[in-house]
Structure formats: C-alpha cells, structure tokens
Amino acid sequence: MKTDYSIKSGLVSWQSPSNIALIKYWGKKGFQIPANASLSITLSESVTRTKIEYRPGTGKMLFYFEDKKNQAFAGKIAKYMEIIADELPYVKYLDFEIQSRNTFPHSAGIASSASAMSALALCLCSIENDISKNNLEENKNFYQRASHFARIGSGSASRSVYGKLSSWGKSEFIPDSSDLFASPVQFTVHPFFENFQDTILIVSKGEKKVSSSAGHGLMKENPFARSRYSQASANLAKLIHALKTGNSEDFIAIVENEALTLHGMMMASNPGYILMKPNTVAIIKKIQDFREQSGVNLCFTLDAGPNVHVLYPETERAGAGAFIEQELKPLCEAGQIIYDKMGNGPQRIN
Ligand code: PMV
C-alpha cells in the first residue's frame, strides 16, 4: 500500500481476544507460514487491552505490562518492530509508550500471545490510518492487514482479529484462504454452535518448559510431520462439514483428535516432551466418561500447555456446569476456572 504520512502525536487503544484452535497449527514452513491450515473459536472474556501513545521521534519505546515497566516484553516488541519496519516505515519516525493488560489472571498459564499480538497489530494499523491519508478502518482490508501483522508476532494471533470462528492458512476447503492472513469463516454455521461455551480449567499456572516456537521448530524433524499435515487437512474438511450440519458427534471426535494429536506430536519430537500434567489426563478421562454416561454434548481441547478447554453448546450449560464445578474444579490449581465463550472479536476502545 502506498502511504502518505504526516507524522503527528496521538493515542490508540484496542482490546483483542484470545482464541482456541479446533484444528491446530503446529509446525511452520519458512517465516511464520503455517504447515497446515487451522480454524479457531474467538473468545469473549479473555482479552488483552493495549493502549499506544505516540509522538514524532526515532522509534524509542517504553512498555508497561499491567502498570509495571517490562524490559523483557519491550525487547521482544522492539525486535518485532524491526521486522515490520519495511512494511510499516512510520515505526522508525515515532516514539511509543505502550500500556498493556490482560483481563485474565496474570500467569494463569493461559497463552496470551494471540490476544497480545493481535491487540498490538490492530493498534499499529490504526496508527497507520490515523497518520496517513488512507482511511481503511471500516474496510475488510484493515482487518486483513492487522491479521497479517499479528501473524508476524504469533501465528495464532492472526485469527484473533475476527469474531466467532476464523481460519488461517491456505486450504482447498476454504475459498480465498491465505497463509499470510486469517479470514472469518464465511459459511453459515449451524445454530448448535451459536454462543458456544469454553470453560478453561487451569490445571497448572507454571511457565511451560518448551515454548511454542521451540515446539514448532521440532516439527521439522518429526517423523510423523507429513502424516500430521494431511490429517489436519482431512480433519479441517470434516470439521467444516460438522459445523455446517450441526453434527455434534463428528465435531467432538475431530476436536478431541486434534488436541491429542498436538500433544502426541510433542511426545514424538526429538527430544520428546510432555506438557500435560497428571490432572490434565484425569480431567480428559472424566470428561469422556461423563459424556458417555450422561449424553451431555461436551468435549475437551488443549493448547500447547496443561490446561483444559471444555467446549459445549449453550443448551448444555446446566448439565456441563454442574459437572465442571463438582468433578473438574477440584483438579484445578487453586480451583481456578475461567468461564469463557465464543466472542465477537476485537474492539477499538478510543
Ligand atoms: O501462535 P503460536 O506460535 O503461539 O502457536 C500456537 C499453537 C497452538 O496454540 C498450539 C495451536 C493454535 O493453532 O493455536
């Protein structure tokens, strides 16, 4: 895009949600290009709020996370700004003060890169709009561009710029899909999945031993990588069908298969590693037994960590809720649970 900047001072602020993948992105080709397409639910309550004040300068940056200066994050963002400077040259001619906070408890073991990087990318695209003569904000290109910059920070963040369901990665099953940015799901989703619930069980708040970037890297030598990428593609096709038809049985089978395969890939890496905890496994077992005995439509999925996301339709709230409180809560660290659900996507705050 050709941009005509008039550098000035200003303030932008966005809140952007986390998301949970149903079809997992695990493994990259080249720089931030996914080895397979993924599809996720955008959450509602687990969000990052980021505010950027900018003024003419030379690219200096102050970063505050939850009101405290954070050098580690500042360093990461400075590197990120260097990477995107070719495409967003204004970052070299402004100074930034960035304030960021999460609504979900700090160090609850929840991946915050999706919400954090999407909030930052949305702010950077709004600044571009505010200081340039092109006003793209109402345009789909604005979100596409934000998704592209979010992807550069964290692949899964590319999907967080849209509400409900979104996909990222080139796929024969998704028209106009791209490896460079995510898109909102275009087909009509069956009412069964409206207001889908995601209850996040905090099994462990501890920092994980192997980061997601290291995990993606280990897929390069994983002997099962090729089969995994074709499995992901087949699962995506089946999931799209289940989402259109409201087939809950297929939905559950695919979502749980994806979660277990993700962790299977970690175990089969060299060196292999396990991010699940004993209570992760205990919770999975209880969910599967309860579903079989009660007929309640609920299932689990996992991120790259020990915490469990319990997914169910709004119509199953009573049954699922009582089971979670009585049977699963005692297996969580300090009984910590976050009741989240499908959300409408990011919002500009100012
Ligand atoms: O976006 P990253 O690089 O943190 O990788 C995220 C990978 C998973 O969360 C495990 C799966 C996904 O698609 O979100």
Q: What is the enclosing helix (H) or strand (E) of 18?
A: strand 10-23
More confident residue, 14 or 133: 14
Ligand 1: atom nearest CA of 154 is 1
Ligand 1 centroid, distance to 19 Cα (angstroms): 10
CB distance 118 to ligand 1 below 6 Å: no
**Amino acid identity at 75:** G
Ligand 1 centroid, distance to 246 Cα (angstroms): 26
Give the CA count within 13 Å in the CB-facing half-sphere of 211.
Answer: 6
Q: Give residue 3's pLDDT.
A: 56
Query: What pLDDT digit, counting tens, does each position of 177-236 carry?
Result: 999 999 999 999 999 999 999 999 999 988 788 999 999 999 999 999 999 999 999 999
Q: Where are the domains of the chain?
A: 10-188, 195-341
Q: Give residue 111's pLDDT.
A: 67
Residue 259: partners with Cβ closer than 8 Å, 6 or more residues away = 24, 300, 301, 302
Ligand 1 centroid, distance to 5 Cα (angstroms): 34
The arrangement of secondary structure in 10-188, i.e. its CATH architecture, is 2-Layer Sandwich (3.30)
CB distance 18 to ligand 1 below 6 Å: no
Smallest CA-to-CA distance from 121 within 91, 166, 165 is with 91
Q: Give residue 136's pLDDT.
A: 56
Note the residue count of the chain.
350
Question: Ligand 1: which of 25, 200, 218, 275 to mutate, most ligand atoms within 8 Å of CB?
Answer: 25
CB distance 280 to ligand 1 below 6 Å: no
Query: What pLDDT digit, counting tens, does each position of 310-332 carry?
Result: 999 999 999 999 999 999 999 99
Query: What pLDDT digit, counting tens, does each position of 141-160 carry?
Result: 999 999 999 999 999 999 99
Ligand 1 centroid, distance to 350 Cα (angstroms): 29
Ligand 1 centroid, distance to 38 Cα (angstroms): 9
The pLDDT of 98-115, averaged and rounded, is: 82
Ligand 1 centroid, distance to 345 Cα (angstroms): 18
Alpha carbon dihedral 112, 113, 114, 116, in 10-degree steps, equals 80
φ, ψ dihedrals at 15, nearest 5°: -115, 135
Long-range pairs for 263-266: beta carbons < 8 A, 24 or more residues apart:
263/302, 264/224, 265/26, 265/27, 265/219, 265/222, 265/224, 265/225, 265/228, 266/210, 266/215, 266/218, 266/304
Average pLDDT of the chain to the nearest whole number: 94
With contact defined as beta carbons under 8 Å apart, do 229 and 222 qualify? no
CB distance 115 to ligand 1 below 6 Å: no
**Is pLDDT of 79 > 70?**
yes
Q: Give residue 88's pLDDT.
A: 95
Ligand 1 centroid, distance to 133 Cα (angstroms): 35
The pLDDT of 71-81, averaged and rounded, is: 91
Can you spell out the DSSP letters for 54-118?
A: EEESSS-EEEEETTEE-HHHHHHHHHHHHHHTTTSGGGGSEEEEEEEEESSPTTSS---HHHHHH
Question: Nearest residue CA, atom 9 of ligand 1?
Answer: 303
Q: How confident is the model at residue 44 (pLDDT cuts 50, 70, 90)?
A: very high
The arrangement of secondary structure in 195-341, i.e. its CATH architecture, is 2-Layer Sandwich (3.30)
**Is pLDDT of 1 > 50?**
no
CB distance 302 to ligand 1 below 6 Å: no
CB distance 126 to ligand 1 below 6 Å: no
Q: Give residue 237's pLDDT.
A: 98
Specify the range with the lowest mean pLDDT, choosing from 77-91, 104-118, 188-202: 104-118
CB distance 154 to ligand 1 below 6 Å: yes
CA dist., res. 184 & res. 168, Å (int): 9
Q: Give residue 5's pLDDT.
A: 67
CB distance 113 to ligand 1 below 6 Å: yes
**Which 8-state DSSP code applies to residue 304?**
S
**Is pLDDT of 345 > 50?**
yes
User: How many Å separate Cα 213 from the centre of its chain?
Assistant: 14
Q: How confident is the model at residue 132 (pLDDT cuts 50, 70, 90)?
A: confident
CB distance 165 to ligand 1 below 6 Å: no
Specify the range with the lowest mean pLDDT, choosing from 50-64, 131-145, 239-253: 131-145
CB distance 156 to ligand 1 below 6 Å: yes
**Is pLDDT of 335 > 60?**
yes
Residue 185: partners with Cβ closer than 8 Å, 6 or more residues away = 39, 164, 165, 166, 167, 243
Specify the range with the lowest mean pLDDT, choosing from 25-29, 129-133, 311-315, 317-321: 129-133
